[in-house]
Structure 1
Amino acid sequence: MRHPPRSALLAIAGATALLGAITVPAVTAQGATPACTVEYSVTSQWADGFQGAVKITNNSAALSSWSLGFDFSGGQKVTQGWNAKWSQSGTEVTAANESWNGSLATGASVSAGFIASWSGNNAAPASFTLNGTTCNVDAEPSPTPTPSDPPGTGSGTAPALHVSGNKLVDAGGTNHRLLGVNRSGGEFMCVQGYGIWDGPVDDAAVEAIADWKADTVRIPLNEECWLGLSNIKPEYGGSNYVGAVKDLVARVEAHGMTPIVELHWSHGQYTGNSAGCSDVHATCQKPMPDMQYSPSFWSSVASTFKDDPAVAFDLFNEPYPDRATSTTTQAWQCWRDGGNCPGIGYEVAGMQDLVDAVRATGAKNVVLAGGLAYSNDLSQWLTYRPSDPTGNLVAAYHVYNFNTCSNESCWNSTLAPVAAQVPLVAGEIGENTCSHSFVDQVMKWFDDRGLSYLGWTWNTWDCSSGPSLISAYDGTPTSYGAGLRDHLRALNG
């Protein structure tokens, strides 16, 4: 997911609709100082337009450049702005610094304004990110397990998996569907300097997932934290991070569930269309993996888990080279082959590069590869799929109610042909309605075809912005999460 609401992130402060010169204050949990605060205001409003302003305060380390991101959910469109470079793609708005106001010292603030159109609903943005870090939320680190923590007390055995035709099967050749949840946190907490996981991942927390009758847990990761690069606090990177991931994988397996380890956030500066941040570091979703670190990440991850065929590898969360390139052909070529892709300023690692990095270690684990448009477009996946000498390649797909391909007509025309040839896993399904009517439709379509799906996300965030399956780590569901919980229990209970 591009957090939030896709692929990402985050516990957020609520905001209310505005009329006139009303300001949404920064709200933090427990009175703690957040990494950044944003005050949003509508200074004037008329029949079909309004003038707005943002005040950004940086409470963390000094910044040499900044990029503010938020979503307009009410159909608002920015038409002009000042004191920042304003851009908008769909609902996603970005305000990046001008050349003269990029420096933002600790405790310093900067303000920018804009004019936008609106119709029907001028609701304030629900959350804000600064260089990929969520603002207006408690910055206190969550406790994280140490590498010495026991792996878990579950009595289950996770199945060893491989591909057979268009099915995933266990060692005995029995078909196996991946049905479960995502456990976000490992992609962003470490790079933001607050910990490794967002909330508990001890045995009780993992058992709560298993109690929903989930059989799979997808674990988003950060390549800079795994590799222990210099911008990561040592306590949250390198061997400490790797040890924490290994412990969580062991706990998931101990409860009989399949762990999918996944590269979510990666290195490489991208400031083009739909950029999530302007930071070169792995602080947001980039359009493609980078050649500098992503193959090394997968070489290390594959070496770590190559003797455990119960672990699956998801190569890259949500590719979107189609937002950077001018043609669909260029985008798919970039996706598979990498290199110097049009519109992307860093050298890209293509899916073939990552498959090669994994297989060079001797790892035969199942590998997932998501398509274009944030893994929502598989229309040419079969044409451009990378070569895998082990034959253990799976197509990954993400779908939310706000995606382009989010109806049966699209699924029948673009997903069904893929699922006829290779296993298909919907690595993320979700909706931002705090209900489950859309995921009910998704699950039925996938159930009718014996396919796999995983709900986003097992985190206690606001369900309309996460979206979040739970309100507590004991497994108490949100109204949205109740749909997945009840369905999994009906299938696997």
Structure 2
Amino acid sequence: MSQKQRSFRTRLAMIGGLVTLLLAGQPATTKPTAAAAICEVTYTISNQWSTGFTANVSVKNLGIGLNNWQVGWTFAGNQAITNLWNGVLTQTGAQVSVSNPAWAASLPSNGTASFGFQASYTGSNAIPNAFTLNGVSCNGDQPSPMPTNTAIPSIPPATNTPNPPTNTPIATTTGTPRPTNTPTSVIPTVTNTPRPTNTPVPTTVNPTATSTPTGNNNNDDWLHTNGNQIVDSAGRPVWLTGVNWFGFNATERVFHGLWSANLTSMMQSISQRGLNIIRVPISTELILEWKAGVFKTPNVNTYANPELEGLTSLQIFDRFVMLSKQFGIKVMIDVHSAEADNSGHYAPLWYKGSFTSEQFYQAWEWITDRYKNDDTVIAMDIKNEPHGTAHDNQTSSQFAKWDNSTDINNWKYVCETASKRILAINPNVLVLCEGNEVYPKAGASYTSSNKNDYYFTWWGGNLRGVRDYPVNLGSNQDQLVYSPHDYGPLVFNQSWFYPGFTKETLYNDVWYPNWFFIHEENIAPLFIGEWGGFLDGGANEQWMKALRDLIKEHYLHHTFWVLNPNSGDTGGLLGYDWATWDEAKYALLKPALWADRNGKFVSLDHQIPLGGTATGTTITQYYQQGNQAPSNP
């Protein structure tokens, strides 16, 4: 691709499909002075074929902080954007504007915002040569919005190590809901355009998934609990150390990233990196659609994934389970929200709109029955992050409580009920009960309208109620695991992130009173279902290392948040090409992954080494070689 040299106003550097425009200022003729460049734009064509292409755009704000941002340009040809993610699109003819998504509105001085899109074209696909930021040419005068003093994280550019948002102090209000981890932006819908020539496809294509669950020739990996340990059928402790991968919970109804990357290649990479379990967020709505035989078109690039062409979202999930078995990975299903919506987890409860508690139970029964004979699917996380504050929701009851009632919003009762109905179908699967957000202090109850009568923490992170009202599963108590979530100050600057906080202060202020007592008192195992964030070189990274060390010291089970790069407030383990790993973040996580004395990662399978024999081993081999049990009460 070639470009004519631009005027002296614009410096254009192009390497392949990458175009960086630093729009410099020039002397103005109508005003006494002119502003310097206000933005730097990087426009990258990541894939291109005869009728379409995908591109990523990042804009660096060289001016003052902006409370909202909008990037504009004009295509030289007939390019038409068909889908855009991490932004809000407006296109009229050749004129394009992309404004910020709600969850990444601010753009601080020297901050960067990024978005991507898929487009069609005919003829030539010329690179835009001029951009605007908030309506002002990047080589024009400085706009004058009110400056912002608080930098809200924006999505990082597609680099190997995403640049973290500035760790700017945020007003502390204990009990403020945790921001979304999944994006609220439009995600690309991939159509059947010719396959880009530079998209790698595995040479080995596995059999196509059918409408029924994939069978397997071994079924000896079911896990149980013993005190605060999770053990295999021989009673030997195991360590579940994995990652979250979202998408099935959202409007796309399939893993995010399959719009550009190959599923088999991703699964192989995950396994070889030592992640032995994948927590898969999903929605009640999607499970009920599957149950009814209703299948909306999944968002998959079938030229990157030819083996997925023509498959429904359920068949793709079946194929994922089959690949998990092949690579020695186990699967946890997490009902993340009632509705199939990128922002569905904002809803505090397991019922919403037309989706009732009974339908929630029925969805769990259906999917449990489907995979009851496959020990690849070893765990069910009953509901993601039940939350809501009691003091200001007395009338609506839109908050999750934990007590001994059978009230519709009693999360403890609901988790107990759902778990019993699941275990009646498959008594060998692990069931996870997360916490809620608030718990009454001594002498108070959930009827109080006084905020000071409650303990607050992260959504899903408050398990104080276990002391007074433990979940009772009767004869199946040995399948129960409690699962808190924990995050750092870049998600929300909670009161315990005061200057000088340490691992010890976090332990005393939040971890022990909210959930670690469950482990220490040998009540049940703990599984930290979500934790993770940006590496900021400051407080957020300090929190991550502290929690990582607690996990490692006590062999706490966990799934890191998240594989996806498009998690607005945490970033992910992968870059925006969905193939390159953030090596710095992975290096932080790696010590908390289960490995033997030779550094081989341990599968939760007794026969299949994790990622193959070069990188992994099995439970059986781990103990045969005399490795230490992952246990530290």
TM-score (norm 1): 0.64
2:485 pairs with 370, 373, 398, which one? 398
Deviation at 1:335, TM superposition (A): 8.6
Q: CA 1:254/1:414 → structure 2, altered by over 3 Å: closer, same or farther?
A: same
What are the residue-to-residue correspondences of 1:161-180 with 2, within 5 Å?
A: 161-180=223-242
Q: CA 1:149/1:445 → structure 2, altered by over 3 Å: closer, same or farther?
A: same
Aligned AA for 1:468?
A: G
Aligned AA for 1:70?
A: W
Q: CA 1:226/1:116 → structure 2, altered by over 3 Å: closer, same or farther?
A: farther
Q: CA 1:474/1:191 → structure 2, altered by over 3 Å: closer, same or farther?
A: closer
2:102 is aligned with 1:69:
yes
Aligned AA for 1:441?
A: A
Q: Tell me the distance in 1 between the aligned counterparts of 2:294 and 2:550.
A: 44
Q: Which structure 2 segments of 5+ residues have no match?
A: 1-34, 72-87, 92-99, 109-133, 135-144, 157-178, 192-198, 301-310, 437-457, 498-505, 601-633
Q: Tell me the distance in 2 between the aligned counterparts of 1:301 and 1:164.
A: 26
What are the residue-to-residue correspondences of 1:358-369 with 2, within 5 Å?
A: 358-369=422-433
Deviation at 1:303, TM superposition (A): 0.8
Q: CA 1:150/1:393 → structure 2, altered by over 3 Å: closer, same or farther?
A: closer
Answer yes or no: is the 8 Å Cα contact 1:262–1:314 preserved in 2.
yes
Q: In the alignment, what sits opposite 1:476?
A: 581
Aligned partner of residue 294 in structure 1, secondary structure: helix
Q: In the alignment, what sits opposite 1:450?
A: 555
Deviation at 1:412, TM superposition (A): 2.7
Q: Tell me the distance in 1 between the aligned counterparts of 2:428 and 2:545.
A: 34
What are the residue-to-residue correspondences of 1:199-238 with 2, within 5 Å?
A: 199-202=261-264, 204-228=265-289, 233-234=296-297
Cα shift readout 1:134-173 (whole Å, capped 9, x = no counterpart): 14x6443799995259999x99987310112221110000
1:333 pairs with 376, 401, 407, which one? 401
Q: Tell me the distance in 1 between the aligned counterparts of 2:245 and 2:209.
A: 18
Aligned partner of residue 70 in structure 1, secondary structure: helix
2:372 is aligned with 1:306:
yes
Q: Tell me the distance in 2 between the aligned counterparts of 1:20 and 1:380.
A: 58
Deviation at 1:287, TM superposition (A): 1.2
Alignment RMSD: 5.5
Q: In the alignment, what sits opposite 2:603?
A: none
Aligned AA for 1:366?
A: L
Task: Give the % identical residues.
Answer: 17
Cα shift readout 1:186-228 (whole Å, capped 9, x = no counterpart): 22253499897884322x3222222122222212223222322
Cα shift readout 1:415-467 (whole Å, capped 9, x = no counterpart): 221113110011112022367553332121122222112212223x1687442
Deviation at 1:305, TM superposition (A): 2.0
Q: Which structure 1 segments of 5+ residues have no match?
A: 1-18, 60-66, 76-110, 270-275
Q: CA 1:417/1:192 → structure 2, altered by over 3 Å: closer, same or farther?
A: closer
What are the residue-to-residue correspondences of 1:336-347 with 2, within 5 Å?
A: 340-341=408-409
2:515 is aligned with 1:415:
yes
2:350 is aligned with 1:289:
yes
2:415 is aligned with 1:351:
yes
Q: Tell me the distance in 1 between the aligned counterparts of 2:572 and 2:90.
A: 27
Aligned AA for 2:531?
A: I
Cα shift readout 1:216-261 (whole Å, capped 9, x = no counterpart): 2212223222322799625579x93333223222322333332111
Answer yes or no: is the 8 Å Cα contact 2:220–2:233 preserved in 1.
no
Aligned partner of residue 584 in structure 2, secondary structure: coil
2:388 pairs with 306, 309, 321, which one? 321
Aligned AA for 2:433?
A: A
Answer yes or no: is the 8 Å Cα contact 2:348–2:398 preserved in 1.
no
Aligned partner of residue 429 in structure 2, secondary structure: coil
Aligned partner of residue 246 in structure 2, secondary structure: coil
Q: Tell me the distance in 1 between the aligned counterparts of 2:383 and 2:338.
A: 9
Q: Tell me the distance in 1 between the aligned counterparts of 2:334 and 2:535.
A: 26
Deviation at 1:30, TM superposition (A): 5.4
Aligned AA for 1:319?
A: P
What are the residue-to-residue correspondences of 1:421-436 with 2, within 5 Å?
A: 421-433=523-535
Aligned AA for 1:427?
A: G
Q: CA 1:308/1:140 → structure 2, altered by over 3 Å: closer, same or farther?
A: closer
Instruction: Please identify, of 435-444 and 255-264, the stretch whose mean Cα deviation from structure 2 is larger.
Output: 435-444
2:185 is aligned with 1:134:
yes
Aligned partner of residue 399 in structure 1, secondary structure: coil
Q: CA 1:132/1:437 → structure 2, altered by over 3 Å: closer, same or farther?
A: closer
Aligned AA for 2:574?
A: I
Q: Tell me the distance in 2 between the aligned counterparts of 1:164 and 1:27.
A: 54
Answer yes or no: is the 8 Å Cα contact 1:396–1:427 preserved in 2.
yes
Answer yes or no: is the 8 Å Cα contact 1:182–1:454 preserved in 2.
yes
Cα shift readout 1:250-289 (whole Å, capped 9, x = no counterpart): 32233333211111232399xxxxxx85xxxx5x542121
TM-score (norm 2): 0.52
Q: In the alignment, what sits opposite 2:83?
A: none
Answer yes or no: is the 8 Å Cα contact 1:339–1:350 preserved in 2.
no
